Chains A and B, each alone.
Chain A
Amino acid sequence: MDSKNDEALDIIVTNVVATFRTRCHLNLRKIALEGTNVIYKPEMGKVLMKLRKPKITASIWSSGKIICTGATSEEEAKLGARRLARCLQKLGFKVRFSAFRVVNVLAVCSMPFAVHLINFTTNNRPIASYEPELHPAATYRIKNLKATVQVFSTGSLTVTGPNVQNVAAAVEHIYPILYECQKPRCK
């Protein structure tokens, strides 16, 4: 069901966060010394490894848990994660790529109209919250999708959710609601 208007909205995924496990203990010091493009953070007990393509930064813990951030799509995240596991394997660890899971997807979107935030929050009282002193955007949480949408008065949105589909659904869901509270542009 297309609840949008005729124009298609551009939802741009800016960040995908994924985790996976290597199922083996990792010697951080060894990775820090022998790996390429690594940053050792002993005070936090992790090593950051950056990949150039796909542009991904991974936080590696000695337990074997790895968090991969910076990808622009779910496939890219997986590809990057595998590359990373590959790197670790080359360093000599018995890496087994397991439990890959996309944890968070961040996307931005722009409405073709401005939004009157006060009206918007008043109409959607429990689901939307707006505290201009804290943050200039109104936060709208979609419980069943587990997605959060931040609406700015300019009509820009940022959407975060567990996967890309949810994010797209969230935008679809919120569009009509925003449409009602739009601010006439020429004011």
Chain B
Amino acid sequence: MKELFLDEGLEDRVLDDLRHLWETKVMQSKAMEDFRKNNINSSDFVLQLPANYPRTNTQTLATFSLPASLAYPVQIPAGVTLQTASGQLYKVNVPVVVTQAPVGHQPVSNVSQKVPERSEMPAPQPVAVAQNPVLLQEPEPPSAAPHKLFTIPCLPKLDLDYTYSQLSDIVQLDGAADNSDPEEDEDLPLEENDFLGLINAEAIRALKEENGSDSNSISSSSDDGVVDELDPLNSGDDVVEQDIPDLFDTDNVIVCQYDKIHRSKNRWKFHLKDGVMSYGGRDYVFSKAIGEAEW
């Protein structure tokens, strides 16, 4: 990481400050569950350019306003152009993540990984400042609402942590929430792309009604025999309770998206992407995973 920063011409001290900043942030995020829920009205984020930035620039601070409706953290990919209140346009070279600082937090020494580029590009609209003609991309006007100060942590890892903490809050409603398959950790129902178990409220109601009326008609409660009323079939207490319910319940779960799932007889092959695996109590994140299993 240090090399990256050095390449950009930034100082070591800046990296350290950033790390401190990030640590406090993460601690705070743990303390207050959901980071985002903190009041988001509108937003400014403060971009502090490194002191030794080669180009002219009298102002070391640029304040940007982002639309109020954005949910944080915001990722600004490379190539996007941001506009300050004063009309100056900055093009983002390196992807940036904007997070919301706790109230009243002053970004003391703020590091920007973003190197605003003043390229000689024709601007579609007249630019106020003569020295930097910049390409205009973002149409969003600065909002007039009260501003908040934001810092730009640039460690990509931060992104991941948000995902993780958010993921751990997600309740899994599908299949057997714990996996029964001895070799593979993934639930079959997870085959549904992105589908994390949204059960219809109506279905639940219908189910409750069914259960209510069923309990009257079903013979035994403990055995729960199959209720057969039709032609050749007698009602069943003799009928089969599943004797191998689930081979064993584990807590190993994978939550992900799938590229391809393939099966031949009882051999399964999985090509998965973008997921988190909880295995043996530890969590692993992956962008690609390939698995094989026998059922």
Residues of A within 8 A of B (CB): 23, 27, 30, 32-40, 50, 52-53, 79, 82-83, 85-87, 89-90, 92-100
Which DSSP category, helix, strand, loop or mixed, fits chain B's interface?
Answer: loop
Q: Which residues of B contact A79 (CB under 8 A)?
A: 240
Q: Name the residue among A85, A87, A97 with the largest chain B CB count within 10 angstroms.
A: A97
Listed from nearest, the 5 A-B pairs whose CB atoms lie closest are A98-B230, A97-B228, A33-B174, A92-B207, A97-B233
List B residues 171-225 near A (Cβ within 8 Å).
Answer: 173-176, 180, 188-189, 191-192, 195, 197, 199, 203, 207, 210-211, 214, 224
User: What bracket does the count of chain B residues touching chain A fall in?
Assistant: 35 or more
Question: CB-defined interface of B237-252 with A at 8 Å, one 1/0 digit per residue?
Answer: 0011111101000000
List B residues 223-271 near A (Cβ within 8 Å).
Answer: 224, 226-233, 236, 239-244, 246, 263
A100 touching B232, Cβ below 8 Å: yes
Q: Does B53 touch A at the CB level, under 8 Å?
A: no
Q: Which residues of B contact A100 (CB under 8 A)?
A: 232-233
Smallest beta-carbon distance B264→chain A, Å:
13
**A87 partner, pick from B174, B188, B207, B242, beta carbons under 8 A:** B242
B244 touching A38, Cβ below 8 Å: no
5 contacts between A and B (CB under 8 A): A40-B191, A85-B226, A90-B224, A92-B211, A100-B233
Q: Identify the closest chain B residue to A83 (Cβ).
A: B240
Which DSSP category, helix, strand, loop or mixed, fits chain A's interface?
Answer: mixed
A98 touching B233, Cβ below 8 Å: yes
A33 touching B210, Cβ below 8 Å: no
The answer for the CA separation of A30 and B198 in the assembled complex, in Å, is: 10
The answer for the CA separation of A51 and B32 in the assembled complex, in Å, is: 46
Q: Which residues of B contact A94 (CB under 8 A)?
A: 210, 214, 227
Smallest beta-carbon distance B267→chain A, Å:
13
